[in-house]
């Protein structure tokens, strides 16, 4: 095994009270891709900053290869002294690095090289920082939530870029699909300690659950041992006094271990306050159009949203997802077309910009609107402290100003207030930002089981697959198409067609004007593995073939019934035709699977 480029061992860090890190370790060897996993507030970002040399631990050993290059993705990049984005990105290069990477990364991350860095939005600033640290292809990349503010096309590009990169990677992310596609090992930071899984993220959750079950069983066993020892002390036959005192001391130590055990952090309890059911028709749009200047955002759009539908909006940044969302709920007026809302509609909206948060208010006052200490959830009064605990806030945080909260805490607080409003239509704009995976799981379950209607915008592919019943996608020039199913279903229906951002379909200027790409850039576009979409089809086809086989077996059984034809000749003929069509679909799926398998073997061979 290659010697580590970076090795952190026995790290201890406390800010008073319970240690944030208590024996944590992290080892990174050349080329490996590690997912750093843990709850919000567990110390993941702190551990990454220690690795980057930005924070010193209270205790522990730190080793970095002297000649190894390391780059860390900051939350807020410093643009001081740089007139253009291109100059900022170039400043990350070393003397021997290739300058073609700057133009390549600026273009693929959707930035304008000539833009003034001080005018960038938060998301653009983060993408510029990502370009700057990736440009020199360092030995180690340390990325804290790299997919935040990236659209789906850019996330998929970043996955492919990181998977092919020679750089070792340690990344924090809540995006399951991103972690599954990029990482080959997992470091789990839990209660100040780290445990490592030498497999990709796809195996993490089963492994974690098994460890927690074993830990709980060991804790229960310790409790039983304490009971036996205590019974011996009280009722056992006295032996030599020295032996008895040793047993007493051992019992005291066992009690201390049992008492001081830090159990797993509690889970959030997410519940939506539901209003009375709306009418069957929730939203009906006909011929909606909206343009800004001569640029169409929505053009001749129509849809019928019924009670119980869960609609997901996806697409590139700038494609108009939030604009379409506001048109549908009537918050924004269309240039033309008609919009009709159903009866008895109560709307609760979650805004990705968090504009509703008042930084000077305390948590409890903001949740109640400054009206006492009670909330009403599903017609039942709840004390605000009790409701805060459901979202993992401590009673001590009740008077904490919102400005002092972390990004994850702000996301949970906004979610808590949104779900406290009685509603039968949830409108969620990027609800997954900054949520840890456990809270994200609960939100997925809530959305999937919500009795009303949900319209949401998200770049989280796994979240979309688990929640929505149809997916709206921009096709360019203001045209939108509604596909049945989640994100993966939409991809299967669209084939290989890419998303189109605003302005595509017309002759337009590139986002930046880099110099011509040197010849070296071309080989990097070739990949010795299947593309993302080919890999997706290869993984999905066995399930499709199994479903088709089951359908064929069911239809053949039904056709074999002796009285079927005499009882229903039309039904018999229709089913026979359907069976033939299903067999053709199965043959096509088997052929596609075989071609992809052969291609995979050829590429890997």
Q: Is 319 annotated as a binding residue?
A: yes
CA dihedral 568, 574, 575, 576 (to 10 degrees): 110
Q: Is 113 annotated as a binding residue?
A: no
- ∠ Cα 308 419 413 (to 5°): 145
Classify strands 374-377 and 425-429 as parallel, antiparallel or unpaired: unpaired
DSSP 464-525: HHHH-SEEEEEEETTEEEEEESSHHHHHHHHTTPPP--TTBTB----S--PPPPPTTHHHHT
Beta bridge partners of 144: 172
Task: Of 350, 270, 271, 343, give the one whose Cα is nearest residue 307.
Answer: 343
Helix locations, 13-97, DSSP H: 44-51, 85-90
Q: What three-state secondary structure class fits 447?
A: helix
Q: Is 273 annotated as a binding residue?
A: no
Phi, psi of 541 (to 5 degrees): -60, -45
Q: Is 512 annotated as a binding residue?
A: no
Q: Answer yes or no: are the C-beta atoms of 11 and 59 closer than 8 Å.
A: yes
Q: Is 316 annotated as a binding residue?
A: yes
Phi, psi of 511 (to 5 degrees): -65, -30
Q: Is 45 annotated as a binding residue?
A: yes
DSSP 77-95: ---TT-SSHHHHHHTT--T
Token pair, residue 389, equals: 């605990």
Q: Is 317 annotated as a binding residue?
A: yes
Tell me the C-alpha distance between 446 and 456, whole Å: 13
Q: Is 406 annotated as a binding residue?
A: no
Q: Is 315 annotated as a binding residue?
A: yes
193 burial (CB, 10 Å; 0-12 / 13-18 / 19+) is middle
- ∠ Cα 251 256 258 (to 5°): 95
Q: Is 508 annotated as a binding residue?
A: no
Q: Is 418 annotated as a binding residue?
A: no
CA dihedral 482, 486, 487, 493 (to 10 degrees): -60
**How many Å is the maximal CA-CA distance in the chain?**
96
Q: Is 322 annotated as a binding residue?
A: yes
Q: Is 318 annotated as a binding residue?
A: yes
Q: Answer yes or no: are the C-beta atoms of 149 and 77 closer than 8 Å.
A: no
- Residue ranges of the annotated binding site for ATP are 38-45, 315-322
- Residue ranges of the annotated binding site are 38-45, 315-322
């Amino acid at each position: 095994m290659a010697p580590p480029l970076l090795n952190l061992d026995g790290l201890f860090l406390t800010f008073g009270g319970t240690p944030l890190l208590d024996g944590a370790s992290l080892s990174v060897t050349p080329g490996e891709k590690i997912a750093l996993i843990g709850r919000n507030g567990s110390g993941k970002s702190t551990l990454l900053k220690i690795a980057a040399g930005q924070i010193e631990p209270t205790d522990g050993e730190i080793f970095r290869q002297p000649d190894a290059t390391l780059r860390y993705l900051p939350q807020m990049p410093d643009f001081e002294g740089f007139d253009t984005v291109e100059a900022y990105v170039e400043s990350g290069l070393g003397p021997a690095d290739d300058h073609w990477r700057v133009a390549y990364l600026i273009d693929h991350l959707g930035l304008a090289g000539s833009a003034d860095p001080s005018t960038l939005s938060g998301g653009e600033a983060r993408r510029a920082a990502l370009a700057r640290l990736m440009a020199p292809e360092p030995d180690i990349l340390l990325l804290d939530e790299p997919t935040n503010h990236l659209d789906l096309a850019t996330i998929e590009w970043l996955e492919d870029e990181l998977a092919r990169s020679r750089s070792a990677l340690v990344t924090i992310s809540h995006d399951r699909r991103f972690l599954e596609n990029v990482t080959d090992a997992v470091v789990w930071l839990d209660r100040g300690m780290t445990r490592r899984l030498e497999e990709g993220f796809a195996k993490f959750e089963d492994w974690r659950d098994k460890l927690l079950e074993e830990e709980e069983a060991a804790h229960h066993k310790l409790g039983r041992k304490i009971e036996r020892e205590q019974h011996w002390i009280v009722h056992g036959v006295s032996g030599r006094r020295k032996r008895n005192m040793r047993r007493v001391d051992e019992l005291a130590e066992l009690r201390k271990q049992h008492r001081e055990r830090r159990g797993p952090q509690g889970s959030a309890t997410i519940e939506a306050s539901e209003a009375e059911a709306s009418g069957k028709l929730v939203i009906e749009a006909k011929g909606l159009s909206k343009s800004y200047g001569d640029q169409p955002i929505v053009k001749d759009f129509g849809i019928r949203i019924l009670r119980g539908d869960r609609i997901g909006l996806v697409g590139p940044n700038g494609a108009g997802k939030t604009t379409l969302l506001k048109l549908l709920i009537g918050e924004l007026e269309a240039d033309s077309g008609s919009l009709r809302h159903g009866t008895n509609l109560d709307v609760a909206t979650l805004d990705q910009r968090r504009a509703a948060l008042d930084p000077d208010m305390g948590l409890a006052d903001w949740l109640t609107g400054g009206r006492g200490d009670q909330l009403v959830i599903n017609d039942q009064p709840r004390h605000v402290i009790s409701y805060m605990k459901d979202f993992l806030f401590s009673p001590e945080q009740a008077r904490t100003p919102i400005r002092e909260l972390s990004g994850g805490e702000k996301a949970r607080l906004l979610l808590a207030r949104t779900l406290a409003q009685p509603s039968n239509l949830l409108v969620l704009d990027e609800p997954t930002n900054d949520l840890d995976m456990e809270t994200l799981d609960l939100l997925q379950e809530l959305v999937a089981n919500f009795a009303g209607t949900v319209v949401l915008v998200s770049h989280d592919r796994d979240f979309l697959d688990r929640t929505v019943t149809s997916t709206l996608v921009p096709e360019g020039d203001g045209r939108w198409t509604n596909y049945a199913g989640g994100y993966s279903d939409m991809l299967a229906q669209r084939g290989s067609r890419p998303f189109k951002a605003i302005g595509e379909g017309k002759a337009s200027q590139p986002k930046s004007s880099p110099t011509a790409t040197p010849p070296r850039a071309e080989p990097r576009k070739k990949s010795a593995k299947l593309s993302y979409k080919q890999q997706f089809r290869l993984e999905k086809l066995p399930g499709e073939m199994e479903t088709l086989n089951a359908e064929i077996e069911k239809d053949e059984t039904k056709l074999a019934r002796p009285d079927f034809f005499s009882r229903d000749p039309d039904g018999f003929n229709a089913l026979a035709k359907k069976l033939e069509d299903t067999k053709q679909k199965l043959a096509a799926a088997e052929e596609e699977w075989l071609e992809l398998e052969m291609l995979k073997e050829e590429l890997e061979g």
